[in-house]
């Protein structure tokens, strides 16, 4: 009898130490739906004629040489294209391993959501007909550009440049929101802010190199957050026990 009681107490202790998944309130999803729709409208409007993209990209394009001077800049490539990406990936890996070690289902799920966000952007990018700025006729290349949702021209080039894949490595940090919202909501929103800052900064580094338009990065952030919210909703509905 005493042995059974001890096992029961140990089980309760382990359960208390385990960070279980939780369900977010319905109002959270309603608010996110509103925000995502609003952002989609704004981003679509900004992408309607590529004027904003061309204006921003113009700062980094040298018409005299018909090239992007920073395209092969070693320092920019090292700090932004490599180091920043590796740090973001390492953060996700640490969250996954530490969460598994501590039996923290919230942290493990958040780490997986980081991967989901980047994966969704990668899939969309792989089937996109939009080519990168450095491949376009306007910037010394041979491919034709076209606005978002317009018909694809025959000579659209190699494509696979929308949304911004590199920016998604920064935006995916937003996934850590779901690990902390229940007990530390302020920290959770800080991770969202950090992900947005990293995504925009890493994405802009690619704009400087001629690898992406600015709108490519905005849409990358949209798709990362959309996929993370949807997947967490599905997972928590299935596995959260409250």
pLDDT in tens, 109-131: 999 999 999 999 999 999 999 99
Predicted pLDDT at 241: 74
Residue 69: inside a domain, yes or no?
Answer: yes
Residue 10: inside a domain, yes or no?
Answer: no
Residue 128: inside a domain, yes or no?
Answer: yes
Determine if the pTM surpasses 0.85.
yes
DSSP letter assigned to residue 83: I
Residue 227: inside a domain, yes or no?
Answer: yes
Answer for the pair 32, 229: CB distance below 8 angstroms, yes or no: yes
pLDDT tens by residue, 55-108 = 999 999 999 999 999 999 999 999 999 999 999 999 999 999 999 999 999 999
Cα dist from 147 to 47, 105, 118, 150, 223, whole Å: 6, 42, 23, 6, 18
Residue 1: inside a domain, yes or no?
Answer: no
Residue 177: inside a domain, yes or no?
Answer: yes
Structural domain boundaries enclosing 99: 22-239
> How many domains does the chain divide into?
1
Residue 6: inside a domain, yes or no?
Answer: no
Asked whether residue 233 carries a pLDDT value surpassing 60, the answer given is yes
Phi, psi of 104 (to 5 degrees): -100, 95
DSSP conformation letters of 2-49: HHHHHHHHHHHHHHHHSB---PPPHHHHHHHHHHHHHHHHHHHHHTSS
Residue 4: inside a domain, yes or no?
Answer: no
């Amino acid at each position: 009898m005493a042995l059974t009681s001890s096992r029961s107490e140990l089980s309760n202790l382990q359960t208390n130490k385990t960070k279980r998944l939780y369900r977010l309130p319905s109002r959270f999803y309603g608010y996110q739906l509103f925000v995502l729709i609003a952002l989609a409208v704004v981003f679509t409007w900004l992408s309607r004629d590529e004027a904003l993209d061309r204006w921003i990209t113009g700062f980094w394009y040298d018409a005299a040489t018909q090239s992007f001077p920073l395209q092969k800049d070693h320092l920019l490539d090292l700090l932004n294209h490599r180091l920043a990406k590796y740090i973001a990936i390492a953060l996700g890996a640490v969250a996954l391993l530490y969460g598994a070690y501590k039996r923290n289902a919230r942290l493990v799920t958040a780490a997986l959501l980081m991967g989901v966000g980047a994966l969704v952007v990668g899939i969309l990018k792989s089937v996109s007909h939009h080519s990168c700025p450095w491949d376009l006729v306007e910037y010394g290349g041979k491919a034709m550009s076209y606005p978002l949702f317009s018909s694809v021209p025959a000579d659209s080039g190699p494509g696979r440049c929308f949304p911004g894949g590199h920016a998604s490595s920064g935006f995916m940090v937003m996934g850590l929101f779901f690990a902390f919202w229940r007990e530390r909501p302020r920290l959770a929103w800080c991770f969202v802010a950090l992900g947005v800052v990293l995504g925009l900064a890493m994405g802009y580094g690619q704009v400087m190199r001629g690898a992406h338009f600015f709108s490519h990065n905005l849409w990358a952030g949209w798709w990362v957050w959309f996929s993370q919210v949807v997947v967490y909703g599905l997972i928590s509905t299935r596995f959260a026990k409250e």
